[in-house]
Each structure stands twice: as structure tokens, then as C-alpha cells.
Structure 1
Amino acid sequence: MNTGTKKKAAILLSTALLAGVMAGCGGNNGNNEPAASSGESPAAEATSGPVETLTVEVFDRGIQGQPDLNNNTWTKYVNEKFGKPNHAVVKYVTVPRSQEVDKLNVLMAANEAPDISFTYDGTTVTRFAKTNGLYTLDELLEKHGQQLKAYLGDTVLDYGKYEGKQVSIPAKRTLLAWNGLFIRKDWLDKLGMSVPTNKDELYDTLVAFRDKNPGNVNGVIPWATAASGMNYTFGNLVPSFWGPMSEEEFVTTTNWLKPGNKDAYKWLNKLYSEKLISPDFALDKTAKQADADVTNGKVGFYGANWDYPMVQKIREPLKQNAPDANYVPIDAFKNADGKYIKETYNENGLFSFIPRSSKHAELAMKYLNWMADPEVLFFLQFGEEGVNHTMVDGIPQGIPQTGENMQMSNLNLDYTLVVNGAELGDTEKNVKTYAAALATGDKAYEKLAVDSYKINTTDGFTAFYYGVPNEASIKYGKTLGDMNKQMTDRLIVAKPAEFDALYDKLVKEYMDAGGKAVQDENVKQYEEIKAGSK
């Protein structure tokens, strides 16, 4: 199936949020103002010529014990290896992760945004481009970005174009898995049951968890979830119910109107009414209750990010509270074609851009180009061998650090702007490296991560790429996104006898609130792309 300039198979899971870019990282409640940190970066010891100052955005995630974000091992390396040879000083401008778009809007409006700014929100980049707020980068890329072009490739760079011009530099996303499903294998073993491979088997398993309570816990929860959008998901359950559609219907039709979509939510409603899903999930707006239920050993099955069981806040308390607990990744939602289809991330991550107000555009491009050097990326992600990591079977194993050696995001995500995810030049190595970083030496959790990644990229698809978000998505996206979450929660907890009428009512309200406008514009854009590909 062709999509014009972007040729990819596609099913659109969230048509109301096409413009949104799924970020592979969560925000924190940092509250620093977006100004350069008080610490001084090492001065460039230029042998000749004026010293040029390049400002670069960096997220403040509010990590306890973090070093000065403008003066640490990583910023010193940047200034030593890039600053000195280019007669420059690189200074970092901190922006709270939880407020990144709001703060970026303020900085851009005041013409004070860093020379290299970034965001995960593709709609924000498009809006800046439409108002002529960004440098067009084609000439700069050609002159100073050959290494960067070679590293990212045309597929990734295309995500940073607006009206055919390069306005941002998307990072390469090296790990594409998104959501996963996890089940207590130790509970299955106690019940003499096999790992479920389809919806019917999963239903029987959840009933057994409810009725037989194999963990002998107070308040067993067969399937844990939280309010929509809060870490816990339903994986690929909904699209597994979808009926036959043409490519255009897959791409342009809002999920709420896709054939079989109502049946998916009716099935979830049935499970909730039979007490197989967290009883108060719709009230769990922060997912703290779901996290507590999982880590206290009460949960038999749940869906979340593909790596969620391996993250420290889940893994460590679960070990303490339920040391025999053994979650394994599974595929349980098979569609009518026998596929376990699931959405994966697109090939791009965050978007770096150079504001029109910058007076150092050439230096900014040189900086991004320099960062695409494999040696540079390796050091920024893994640091010095023997200090920041050890090598085991060709895979760098991180050594926990404090002080200026500490990394404030996984693999220094906020300092490596051209890549999201471990980069060792090979997907298998990248997965093993990420797994090792998550598991911190626990081989069982390393295997869990590797297995989960494999499962959750099998039969994967990416959202259709329209080139730019349509005007209706920009106008109605926030409203429709909020409605999506509310509709999901209300439909699941509704009385079964009232489900059909409520579904129809909510979908009509959704379409009237902008859903139809988004869908109509999707159709128009899709037809234009298809016509252009002929």
C-alpha cells in the first residue's frame, strides 16, 4: 500500500490526535524557569577568532540529586570536543519537562528561544513553521550536515518537513515498540493453565484469577488498569475487533466509527461488569492505585508500555512485596486474519529546530552534525568505560552514578538530540543495551525486556503520515483528545443494558465537537497524497 511520499502500511488508532507525537518518555514536575543555569560552562579555549556562544535547550526533569544541568560531565565533554575546535561555548537553557510546550511558546514569542530548541509535539513545530518562526534548514544541512543526513536518512528527515522544506531535525527512534501485555506466569502455573493466546482464553484466565485467587491476596484484581491515558492501556485489543476495511477507511475513519469498534468496548464493558477489571479504575487519574496494586502482588494481568514491568518503580517494590511474582509478555488479541496487530512508534522522536531569532544557525547545524558521530553518541549515552559503564558481551552495562556523572534521563536522552534510544548501530544490540540499562544486572528482567520488545514489534504498524497535521486536528485536537479519554472510561463502567445507546450518543457528540471536521480533512489529505503518488 502506498502513501505517496511516505509509503507505509497504516491503520490510524487516534485520528483526532494525528498531530500529536508519542513521546517515549514521561514528564516530571520540574519548576525551574527556562533560563540558563547559574553554573558556568567551561570556556572555549579558542586559539584564534571570536568565541561564539551557542544556546541549547535541555529538559529539567526535577530528578533528586541531579547536578547542574549546565555544568556536568556531559556538558564539559561537549565544550571540550565541540566547543574548543569551533571557537565556541555551548550553554544550556533549562526548560521544565512538564511545561515544555508552554515555556517554549513564551520563549519563542519573546524571541528568546535557544539556538537549538526541541519538543516532542509535532503540532507545535508546525505552528512555528506556519508563522515563519523557524529557519529552513535545507541549505544548512547540505553545507554543514552531511554526517547528520547520512545518519538519519530520508525517512526520518521527512518527518521534519513543512511544505516541502526542512524546518526541524527529527531524532532517530531506535526502539519502536510501544505498548505491551503482561501476565502472572506463576499464577498460571499454580492453576495449571497455559499462557492465553486469544481473547476467549484470556477471558477464561481472568475468571480463574477472580474465582480461585492463585496468589491468595486480599482484593485480587484479574486485570489492572487506570483512567484513560495514564500509563495503563488495553494494548491492541480494540483494533483486534475491527472488521474488513479499505486502506482509505483504515486511515481516515475515526476509530469510533470503524466496524467492530463498538464490539471492542462492549467486551470491555462485560469484563468490568463481571468484576474482572480494576473496580475504581476511572477514578485513578494518576495511575498510583494501579501501580500499587501491581507492586503489592494483587494483579494477574495488565497492559502498559512495553517496558513497564522493568522500570524501577514497578520492579523493585514488586520484588519486595511478592518475590515469587513472574510477569511475562504475551500476545492475546488476535484479529480475524490471525494477526496480533499493534501500533508501534514512527521512526522519529523529538524535533530539534533553529528559531528564526537565532544568530548562530550555522553553528547550531554544525553541533547537530557533530553529534551524529558514532563516537560522540556513544560517550554521551554511555560515558567512560570503567567509570560510567562496563562492557559485557559487547553490550555496555551502566554503573549507577551520582554527582556530575549522573544522567538525568535514560541514556542521556536530553543531551543526545539526534537519537531517541540506545544507538549501537544494530537493533538487536540496541534492545539488549536498553534491557541491560533497565534491569541493572538482573538477567531475568533483561530477558523480559528482550522478549517484550520482540512480541510488541511483531505485526506492528505505524500511524499514517500526512506530512503535516491538518487544520481541523490543530483546532479540535485537544478537545477530542479529552473526549476520547472520557468516552473510554464512561463506556467501560456503563450499565450493560445502557451501553449501546450511550455509545451512539457519545460518538455523535464526538463527531459534532470536531470529529467529523477532522475526518473530512483526513479524507481530503489522503486523496491528495494518493493522487500525487500516481
Structure 2
Amino acid sequence: MKGRMTKGLLLGLALILVMISLAACSGNKNKDSGASPAENSTGSSGSEQPGKLEKVRVSLWDRSNSPSGQKLGDTIIVKKLQEEAKKEGLDVEYVILPRSQESEKNSVWMASGEGPDIIITYDVNAVFKWAEQGGLWELDDLLDQYGPDIKSMIGPALDVAGKYKGKRYAIPAMRMSTAAGANMKIRQDWLDKLDMKAPTTLDELYNVLKAFKEQDPGGVGKDNVIPWALPAISQGMKGFFFGPMWGAGVATDGPSSEMYMPSGNFTDGVFHSPVVLEEGKEYFRFMNKLYKEGLISREFVTDVNSQQYLQHYMSGVAGFLESNEDPWMMTKETRKTVPTATWVTVDPFIRPNGTQAITEANLYGLFNLVPKSSKNPAAAVKYLNFLAKNIKLVQGGIEGVHYKEENGLFITIDPAKNAEEIDWYFKDLNLITQGYMGNPNKEQLKTLYMNEPNADEIADILDPYYKAYENYGKQVPLIDTPRPVSEKSIANITKFLYDALSKAIIAKDFDAEWEKVVSGWKKNGGEAYDAEVTESLVQMNWKTTNE
């Protein structure tokens, strides 16, 4: 706590702060009350009287998925958490809201000042907006004072997320495994029949795709072979360009966008979107070549619901793709039609500078926020610290009842019991971590799939998948400064590029069509967008993911 105050002065300031905070949550631009949250807690414990429980109200999502109609507030882990929290001096009330109403309800709470002490969201833009409006408590001092277990458990996530303009307004949940997101996969059984190895560069990918087309290793008929299964490239589709474009030398130095491809390169202090990079142009020239030679799905432009793409890989006629499924999941699906099919991970392509990279999931997940309407922000941070100290309870349930630890894993004791008692909700109680372990090694994978007859094969398929993220994973920058140009133009830019890039891929005259891509991007505010990203990356001292 910064400084010493008398009790009368402290209580007087607290009353003033409550009045100011209510106005701030209604849109008042008074962003700072002049005192830190720690100074506004009532005493070192945050409670008015020694031994008195501190009330803390916490958001809890209801997914309406109870298998027996049980009320979420009456479940075994909720009751256990409330019981254990009392030992820490906290009286916990869970404020239950339908998961589908999270965004709407959070907005109402922030405007009315009637929300719980902890609200949760995945929407980082909402965090920034509320911080800018002065509707959130700054948490740096509170985290230092009341969150030692939080800091020791999720330090890496705190390093990259939760701040706005250099001040902390959110405590992020940390993803325990970042092995998630776009990854390239190929049919190993097809490679084996052709006595070929998985490609390591875009040039090698071309040779493999051409061999798939011409030699039909799956025996599906040359006219039916889809060397590279690809749906429409608009938002929400199943196909991505991350891996291949990384291989062309395009990086992910810009913010996440609605385009399922790398965002661009930050070179010599300047950010460039892919459409103005020579590497970006040459990548789409490569795709144009594949299209002309029948090496990608011929009608991908019209496959706006991914149905054709799904049919291609699940029926066994596709040989290569990039998606966010893991290779074992895809193998299981394809084996329903082709029992010998085996999808495996393709390691990131070697880029022109000799490096390799894959875009991994962010280290952070949901955000825990303390609205200014909270009268005791210290209690909110204490609750999150309590969760960190009791993390296994919300990671696996009650040890000896719901799980046992083996080889670093939580092994379910009675799946039917867990399905009834905890599986449908308890992970939503975990506001500190998402998951409970990092990337599993091969022996752990065998343990995880020990009830499967082919556990060893599954481990062999999944081990390289996890290792790719461990060895080559790159994080996307999280820009924590306002970007008004982006807010105004990003929707138009991405909408334009969905159409323009598709036309470039199928164009008879690629160079003429590419000129339209670049000119249209400029007309939609692309240059101003890049300039704004440049300014933000410079302020962040960002380097590059292209190393």
C-alpha cells in the first residue's frame, strides 16, 4: 500500500471514489480517481472488522448443459470453493449468467455499476474500451500486494496481456498449452506409396502436390484427387494460409485480424501488410500457379460453408491442407471412409532466411476485470489469488474423488461420475489457467490414450504435432494502445481482401489482378492502417517474428 492514511480520511476517500466510479461506468471520462485501488481497500485485509468475511461477487457462465437439471450454484465444486474461500476470509457469491449473454450482460453491468466484483470476457477490445472510459480498477498495486500466487503461476501471461497504455486493468487466464491453432497436415500413407518425404519448403510442397495429382497414391482416380483441400478464404472457413505463407517469408508481426493468414512484416521499424510485400505477392503467384495446374480445390471460391472441403478430406480424396484440427482427429474422421488413411503434422516450412515458425495460441485466454463499481477491489484480487492456491480443484475436481495424478496427468477415476458432477461446468470456475498442463510428451500421450487399442500409434501421430509448437511457436503481438484507424477501416479492408485475393488466385493474368489487389487495399485505408500499426509496434519495442 502506498503511503499511510488515517482511518477517517481513508473512509472519506472511499466514499468519494465510489461516487466517481459510478459516474465513470456510465460513460464519464474521469479516468483516475487519484488513488490506487490498494489505498481504497479498508485495512490490510480489506474487511472493516478483524475476522469478518469479505464479500466478493464473481461472474460464472452457465452453458445450460447440466446433464440432470442440477442448478449450477448447487454443484459440488461451487460449494467446495465457497467452503474453502471462507478459510481465506472470503464470502464468495457466484453471479450466474448465460454464456450466450456474456457480452450484452457485461455491457449492462459496466453502464449501470451493478455488476459483480469480477467480470470475465475474451474480448480484448472491450477491455481496452472500458479502461479508456475509466470503468476499470487499475490492478498493478493490488496484484503486487495480494496476488503473489497469481504472479508465480501465470507470470508469462501477465507479461504479454492485461495492460492498456502501460497500466494493468485485467488479469488474464494463462493457457497451459499453446499447441493450438493453424497447422499443416499431409497424408502419410500417400507419401509412403510414392516413397516421398513430407515437404520442407514451398518448392517441395509443389512437387509433392504434383505427384499426388499425377500418380494418385490413394487410388481414388486422377480426376478425383484433391492435392490441397481448400475452402473459401473468408472468415469462419476451415482452411488457413498461415503455414504456407510463413514459408514464403511473410511474418505475423501485426495484430490478429479476420484474415486467416499472417498479418505482415515489421522490418527496419516499419510494418507492411502482405499485399505490399514482395513475399506476399510471390506467395499468391504460387497459389495462382497451383490453381492453374489443378493442385488446389477448383471451386474453393464458392465453398463458403466449408462443406466441399470437409467432404474432400473426410472421404479420403485430399492429400494436404492446413486447419486448426490436430492430425489424430483428422485421421479418425478419414478412417471412417479409408481405414488406412493417416494424417501427420508437417513441420513449418523453411523460410527464405532459413528459419522456421508456426503461429501458436496466445499465452492468455479470458480476462478477469474489476469494474470501478466494486467497493472492494482488493477482495477481487484476493479471490483470484485464492484460486491460484487451490488451482487443482478447478483443474481436475476433488483429488481421490474425481481424479488421480499419474505421470503428471489427471486420470479420471469414474468418467460417469465426472460427467454428472463436474465435467459440464467446473472449467468455467478456473479463472486463472486454461487447462492444467503444458504440451504432453509421448509417454504422457500414451497414458492419455491408454484406453484406446492403438495408443502407441496415436502418440506417434500427436507427438510431432506438439513438438512443432514447442520448437517453432511464435506469439502474435497484443497491441495495447488505441487504434482508431483500424476500428474505422479493418472491416472494409478484410471484406475487400476476401474477394480480391480469391480473384488473384484464379486469375488468368495474375500481375494485372494483383495491381487491383494493391490499389483496392490502398483505397480502403490500407496505408493508414499500416502506419498506425507501425506506430503501435514502435511504442511496444516490438522486434519481429521473422527470426
TM range (shorter): 0.7 to 0.9
Residue from 404, 415, 425 that aligns with 2:429: 415
Asked if 1:485 corresponds to 2:485, the answer is: no
Deviates more, 1:322-331 or 1:195-204: 195-204
The one-letter code sitting in structure 2 at the alignment partner of 1:273 is K
The one-letter code sitting in structure 2 at the alignment partner of 1:514 is G
Task: For residue 484 of structure 1, report the CA deviation from its aligned partner.
Answer: 4.0
Task: For residue 83 of structure 1, report the CA deviation from its aligned partner.
Answer: 4.9
Q: Contact between 1:175 and 1:430, CA under 8 Å: does it hold in 2?
A: no
Q: Contact between 1:344 and 1:457, CA under 8 Å: does it hold in 2?
A: no
Q: What SS does structure 2 have at the residue aligned with 1:363? A: helix
Match of 1:76 in 2: 79
Distance 1:479 1:72, change over 3 A: farther
CA distance in 2, matches of 1:308, 1:84: 42
Match of 1:237 in 2: 244
Q: What SS does structure 1 have at the residue aligned with 2:278? A: coil
The one-letter code sitting in structure 2 at the alignment partner of 1:282 is V
Q: Contact between 2:185 and 2:322, CA under 8 Å: does it hold in 1?
A: yes
CA distance in 2, matches of 1:291, 1:252: 35
Match of 1:344 in 2: 360
Q: What SS does structure 2 have at the residue aligned with 1:55? A: strand
CA distance in 2, matches of 1:273, 1:120: 41
CA distance in 1, matches of 2:344, 2:231: 20
CA distance in 2, matches of 1:439, 1:67: 31
Q: What SS does structure 1 have at the residue aligned with 2:242? A: coil
Distance 1:96 1:508, change over 3 A: farther
Distance 1:154 1:263, change over 3 A: closer
Deviations 1:417-458 (A, max 9, x none): 2223333xxx45589768966897444333323211212343
Task: For residue 134 of structure 1, report the CA deviation from its aligned partner.
Answer: 1.0
Q: What SS does structure 2 have at the residue aligned with 1:458? A: helix
Match of 2:459 in 1: 446
Match of 2:291 in 1: 272
CA distance in 1, matches of 2:292, 2:526: 29
Match of 1:56 in 2: 59
Under a length normalisation based on structure 1, what TM-score does the superposition of the two structures give? 0.77
Deviates more, 1:211-220 or 1:252-261: 211-220
The one-letter code sitting in structure 1 at the alignment partner of 2:490 is G
Match of 2:210 in 1: 207
CA distance in 1, matches of 2:192, 2:441: 32
Task: For residue 251 of structure 1, report the CA deviation from its aligned partner.
Answer: 5.9
Q: Contact between 1:66 and 1:408, CA under 8 Å: does it hold in 2?
A: no
Deviations 1:496-521 (A, max 9, x none): 32x22222222322233232222112
Match of 2:130 in 1: 128
Q: Contact between 2:199 and 2:349, CA under 8 Å: does it hold in 1?
A: no
Residue from 258, 264, 269 that aligns with 2:277: 258
CA distance in 2, matches of 1:388, 1:133: 40
Distance 1:293 1:387, change over 3 A: farther
Q: What SS does structure 1 have at the residue aligned with 2:336? A: helix
Q: Contact between 1:48 and 1:87, CA under 8 Å: does it hold in 2?
A: no
Q: Contact between 2:327 and 2:345, CA under 8 Å: does it hold in 1?
A: no
Q: Contact between 2:157 and 2:173, CA under 8 Å: does it hold in 1?
A: no
Structure ranking higher on relative contact order (CA contacts 8 Å, 6+ apart): 1
Q: Contact between 2:117 and 2:380, CA under 8 Å: does it hold in 1?
A: yes
* Structure 2 residues not aligned, in runs of 5+: 1-49, 252-263, 543-547
Q: Contact between 1:69 and 1:94, CA under 8 Å: does it hold in 2?
A: no
Match of 2:326 in 1: 308
Deviates more, 1:172-181 or 1:295-304: 172-181
CA distance in 2, matches of 1:432, 1:470: 46
Q: Contact between 1:183 and 1:329, CA under 8 Å: does it hold in 2?
A: yes
Match of 2:511 in 1: 500
Q: What SS does structure 2 have at the residue aligned with 1:318? A: helix
Deviations 1:270-320 (A, max 9, x none): 212322222333333343442333222222111112x53344xx4543333
Alignment of 1:363-442 (within 5 A): 363-373=379-389, 376-385=390-399, 387-398=401-412, 400-401=415-416, 403-408=419-424, 413-423=427-437, 427=438, 429=440, 441=452, 442=455
Q: Contact between 1:206 and 1:222, CA under 8 Å: does it hold in 2?
A: yes
Task: For residue 204 of structure 1, report the CA deviation from its aligned partner.
Answer: 1.9
The one-letter code sitting in structure 2 at the alignment partner of 1:237 is P
Under a length normalisation based on structure 2, what TM-score does the superposition of the two structures give? 0.76
Task: For residue 459 of structure 1, report the CA deviation from its aligned partner.
Answer: 3.5
Distance 1:329 1:63, change over 3 A: farther
Match of 2:476 in 1: 463
Q: Contact between 1:173 and 1:419, CA under 8 Å: does it hold in 2?
A: yes
CA distance in 2, matches of 1:275, 1:217: 16
* Structure 1 residues not aligned, in runs of 5+: 1-46
Distance 1:204 1:529, change over 3 A: closer
Task: For residue 345 of structure 1, report the CA deviation from its aligned partner.
Answer: 3.5
Match of 1:513 in 2: 524
Q: What SS does structure 2 have at the residue aligned with 1:181? A: strand
Q: Contact between 1:95 and 1:103, CA under 8 Å: does it hold in 2?
A: no
Q: What SS does structure 1 have at the residue aligned with 2:411? A: strand
Distance 1:513 1:203, change over 3 A: same
Distance 1:160 1:394, change over 3 A: closer
Q: Contact between 2:395 and 2:435, CA under 8 Å: does it hold in 1?
A: no
Task: For residue 265 of structure 1, report the CA deviation from its aligned partner.
Answer: 1.0
Match of 1:104 in 2: 106
Indicate the structure (1 or 2) with the bigger Cα radius of gyration. 2
